[in-house]
Amino acid sequence: MGDQPKPLGLTLGDPAGIGPEICAKMLAQPDLPEYPLVLGDPKVLEAAAKRLGLKLLLQTVDHPSVPVPINTIPVFSAGPAASAVPLGQVSQRAGEAAFAAIKAGIDHSISGDLAGIVTAPINKEAFAAANVPFPGHTEMLAHYAKADVAMMLANADIRTVLTTIHVPLRKAVDLITRENVLRAIRLAHHGAVALGYSAPRVAVAGLNPHAGEGRLFGDEDADEIAPAIEDAKAEGIDASGPWPGDTVFMSARQGAFDVVVAQYHDQGLIPVKYMGLADGVNITLGLPFVRTSPDHGTAFDIAGQGIADPASLRTAFNYAVQLRGAKAARF
């Protein structure tokens, strides 16, 4: 028993969105290698499974270590009852339920009861309605884990790590500092190592058009990004750039680089998402436990219709299983 890996947690996400549906669909897949500990209102998952005509054997547990019968899915009831939340609508109750499930997953991961969590999508407006003081998962994880984190978006062809995440673009430019870029490069390197790249090649995208074009289009590339790259090289990291943001992802896809550091949210996410949401996954780097999530949102417009695709959630779960076995102490 001592050699058994710790279980992974699975949050249901916003109960008004497609999270419960894609969770139910994934849990019903016959080739799922193991069942995670589901975190959230059991009745929300039951209702989603019933709408889909799926039979899931659920058992509520009060701790991740509680054994359940074979082919039974353990569920840790976290947060308020949310089965009556109207689908496809922002609500305070939905935000409270989503927050509570994530918080339970973080707590059990920090304590070592879980190896980490796979998180179904949340709605940022619902978080705000519930007075949750975080704009999203990443900031919440960083706060409670007391960790310096970065977001990695990955698919089969591209891996990208963001220097700045959920901030207005005007503010993002001010946050492109030598220190912040170096932090992102370090986390990109260690994250790629955890994914199996023994000596990852880290490309760093520029901020301005043509990476500044010799200061013709701004000074940030020369004054902040280039020095951070040199600092990373001095630490033994194979980093290069700054490369023009409009071509660096094409070069990475063609095999020139293993991971790209992007300077702001859309610069990094557009290339990954353009290649398809089904294969994309969000990985939080810098935590003392694993955290992955699908590369899409709550899709309120199709919630409850039974047509949501669980492929990205399954990809996120597969990545979590892989990362759980990685030798790197921090991802």
- Any idea how long the chain is? 331
Judge whether 219 and 226 are in contact, CB under 8 Å: no
The CA angle 150-152-157, to the nearest 5 degrees, is 160
Residue 1 scores a pLDDT above 70 = no
Q: Residue 327: pLDDT band by 50, 70, 90 thresholds?
A: very low
Q: Residue 177: pLDDT band by 50, 70, 90 thresholds?
A: very high
Judge whether 150 and 286 are in contact, CB under 8 Å: yes
CATH superfamily, domain 1-148+281-331, is Isopropylmalate Dehydrogenase (3.40.718.10)
- Given this model, what pLDDT does residue 135 score? 84
Please state, in angstroms and rounded to a whole number, the distance separating the CA atoms of residues 163 and 129. 28
pTM of the entire structure?
0.86
Q: What is the CB-side half-sphere exposure of residue 224 using CA atoms within 13 A?
A: 23
What values do phi and psi take at 260, rounded to 5? -115, 135
Q: Residue 258: how many CB atoms within 10 A of its CB?
A: 21
Classify residue 53 by burial, with Cβ atoms within 10 Å: 0-12, 13-18, 19+: exposed
Taking only the tens place, the pLDDT of each residue in 87-108 is 999 999 999 999 999 999 999 9
Please state, in angstroms and rounded to a whole number, the distance separating the CA atoms of residues 233 and 250. 23
Please state, in angstroms and rounded to a whole number, the distance separating the CA atoms of residues 138 and 150. 8
Spell 182-220 as b/e; 16+ CB within 10 A means b: bbbbbbbbbbbbbbebeebbbbbbbbbebbbeeeeebeb
Question: Kind and range of the H or E element at 153?
Answer: strand 150-154
Please state, in angstroms and rounded to a whole number, the distance separating the CA atoms of residues 102 and 109. 10
Question: Across the chain, what does the average pLDDT equal?
Answer: 93
| The domain made up of 156-275 is a member of CATH 3.40.718.10 | yes
For the record, the structure tokens of 278 come out as 């089904």
Q: Residue 329: pLDDT band by 50, 70, 90 thresholds?
A: very low
For residue 242, cis peptide bond before it (omega within 30 degrees of 0) = yes
State the span(s) of the chain assigned CATH 3.40.718.10. Answer: 1-148+281-331, 156-275
Residue 330 scores a pLDDT above 60 = no
Q: Residue 223: pLDDT band by 50, 70, 90 thresholds?
A: very high
